[in-house]
Structure 1
Amino acid sequence: MKILALILAAITSAFSLQAVPAPATFEQAKVELRQKVYFDRNQAGEIYCGCPWRWVGRSGGRVDLSACGYEVRAQPNRAARIEWEHITPAWVIGHQRQCWQNGGRKNCVATDPVYRAMESDAHNLTPAVGEVNADRSNYRYTQLASTPYQYGACRTRVDFKQRAAEPRDEAKGLIARVQFYMHDWYRLNMSRQQQQIFSAWDRMYPVSEWERERDRRIALVMGHSNPYVTGERAWQVGQKPSGDGIPIARAPEKKSASTVRQAKAEPSEDTAHLPVIGNRNSKVYHLPQGCPSYSQVGPRNQVPFGSAQEAEAAGFRLAGNCRS
């Protein structure tokens, strides 16, 4: 009976994990990370310098700089506070999604549901000293052997001329596996040089017990783990990203014409929250599943609709490259 109870508990836990809705916004993600992931980690130290902090408010913190030997470089206000760092920068995400160029972050949040999912992905977020977060900006990670350290005892450094940053050794493995996850899950491009650096860090700095625990906690927030932490996947230089985190990237099953018409009225569960996107120039509309050009409509030309029927009533027709 005890074994049966354990099996039932495991099945229930797995079902609950899959049913969890991921955070819908960056703000929500920060609050959930504070409450469910990092609630007991503030004395263990943030990612870049190992500095402890005191929680303030819903998701903020005040850094104890003296406890980690941190020396302010230029921004005392930001050095004193905890900020939430996007390991794969929001700037990089937005530019690859092609929404940042037409209005920056605000435009991406307003017009691109895939960007919103990426910006609020808890796997990609971590507490960091605000000044280091600001200095790192959207710079690439790399090795900086000749760059001096700028933050006292903190072993993270930034080269502003090269637009590059090197995190301390204790963070390199986690950062590499988050980068693998983000680029694979959301089909982002990564240079071969970056792939080689992260592959080296992945080998040199294996998954720690805290990283495993972090992944378990974030899985309860996101509904899935990072497979590069659990060992379900291993990055190969030159591999093609899967895009598993983008609903439209999943190959749809072949359906009859009547089934396709029914699907327009009854979208699948994983795309039901996404709008139908019309192109105001071409007067065609794209469904969130089965239409390859769904994410390629320029933000200024997007006309969102609640359903295919609504789009057709407005004079739009289904895009010709949508697959059945």
Structure 2
Amino acid sequence: MNLKRKIVIPFLSLFLLTNLNANEKIDSFSKAKKLMKKVYKENQVTFYSNCKYNYRDKSNMILRDSCGYEPRNEYTKKGKKNQRATRIEWEHVIPAENFGRQFVCWREGNSTCVKDNGKTYKGRKCCSFVDEKFRFMEADMHNLVPAIGELNADRSNFRYGIIEGEKRLYGQNIDFEVDFKNRIAEPADNIKGNIARTYFYFEKQYGMKISNKDKKLFNAWNNLDPVDDWERKRNNLIYKIQGNKNPFIN
């Protein structure tokens, strides 16, 4: 083996290791949300509804005319304006509960997860307190997208799937459906691949389990919706901040 190959191969191995790892830099969900504003600074468009938004307008960030968004609930049950229909929230593409329940601290708690009154707690709060890996997963910027608060709330922790009928709950132009009875959400075709590649990333980098049924669905979505220019740019912008890329995009 010549000297050139001796130098190139270790360098290539180091390159792969530093570009195919998980988030090991940002362990605060609050910090990650603030940093995501920088990623979307020049592309302020919501993920599920393709609506433009303006952070400066605190009374109503959503530019409804840009997408035809019509809130499912303009007002709350108490008759007050539904504030979540007016603002942007940073949504986990993979809900925290979906990867969190694979942690013992989520299911059973921890001896240190005790309130001041002596009562124990578990779930997201406990894992955020005791488990570093969970904090990195929760704050992973590759899993965060801007969403209208109402859609974020309605999607909840429902799994992704196919909903027959295509009932438009948020206006005829918003191709995002939620089946509350069966706890399923279906996004538009042009972001199905983005979602699939996020799941593949979490499976590879964190060992998150994906059911065979979901794998089949996500493989189909990955083929249906190939990587586009914005997805590549977003991947690179996150890399500059977080230090790693989603290899299924690159």
Match of 2:144 in 1: 125
Match of 2:187 among 167, 189, 194: 167
Distance 1:145 1:224, change over 3 A: same
Letter in 2 for 1:90: A
Is 2:84–2:150's contact at 8 Å kept on the other side of the alignment? yes
Is 2:13 the counterpart of 1:22? no
Is 1:65–1:71's contact at 8 Å kept on the other side of the alignment? yes
CA RMSD after TM alignment: 2.5
Is 2:24–2:136's contact at 8 Å kept on the other side of the alignment? no
Structure 1 residue 66 displacement after superposition: 2.7
What is the distance in 2 between the residues matched to 1:70 and 1:207? 26
Match of 2:103 in 1: 97
What is the distance in 1 between the residues matched to 2:18 and 2:68? 45
1:230-286 Cα shifts (integer Å, max 9, x gaps): 1xxxxxxxxxxxxxxxxxxxxxxxxxxxxxxxxxxxxxxxxxxxxxxxxxxxxxxxx
SS of structure 2 residue aligned to 1:221: helix
In the TM superposition, 1:152-163 aligns within 5 A as: 152=171, 153-163=173-183
Match of 1:86 in 2: 92
Larger Rg: 1
Letter in 1 for 2:28: T
What is the distance in 2 between the residues matched to 1:15 and 1:144? 39
Is 2:162 the counterpart of 1:138? no
Is 2:194 the counterpart of 1:194? no
Letter in 2 for 1:194: D
1:135-181 Cα shifts (integer Å, max 9, x gaps): 00101111112251200021011000110100111211111101110
Structure 1 residue 121 displacement after superposition: 0.3
Greater relative contact order (Cα 8 A, min sep 6): structure 1 or 2? 2
Letter in 2 for 1:48: Y
What is the distance in 2 between the residues matched to 1:182 and 1:135? 23
Match of 1:73 in 2: 72
SS of structure 2 residue aligned to 1:165: strand
What is the distance in 2 between the residues matched to 1:15 and 1:156? 36
Match of 2:205 among 179, 185, 189: 185
Instruction: In structure 2, list runs of 5 or more residues that go unmatched.
Output: 1-13, 75-81, 108-120
Match of 1:228 in 2: 248
Letter in 1 for 2:35: E
Is 1:64–1:80's contact at 8 Å kept on the other side of the alignment? no
TM-score, structure 1 normalization: 0.61
TM-score, structure 2 normalization: 0.79
What is the distance in 1 between the residues matched to 2:26 and 2:203? 19
Match of 2:223 in 1: 203
Match of 2:131 among 112, 116, 130: 112
Instruction: In structure 1, list runs of 5 or more residues that go unmatched.
Output: 1-10, 231-324
Structure 1 residue 128 displacement after superposition: 0.6
Is 2:82 the counterpart of 1:62? no
Aligned length in residues: 212
Match of 2:167 among 135, 144, 148: 148
Match of 2:50 in 1: 50
Which region of structure 1 is more displaced relative to structure 2, 160-169 or 139-148?
A: 139-148
Is 2:221 the counterpart of 1:215? no
What is the distance in 2 between the residues matched to 1:178 and 1:15? 19
SS of structure 2 residue aligned to 1:99: helix
SS of structure 2 residue aligned to 1:96: coil
Letter in 2 for 1:62: M
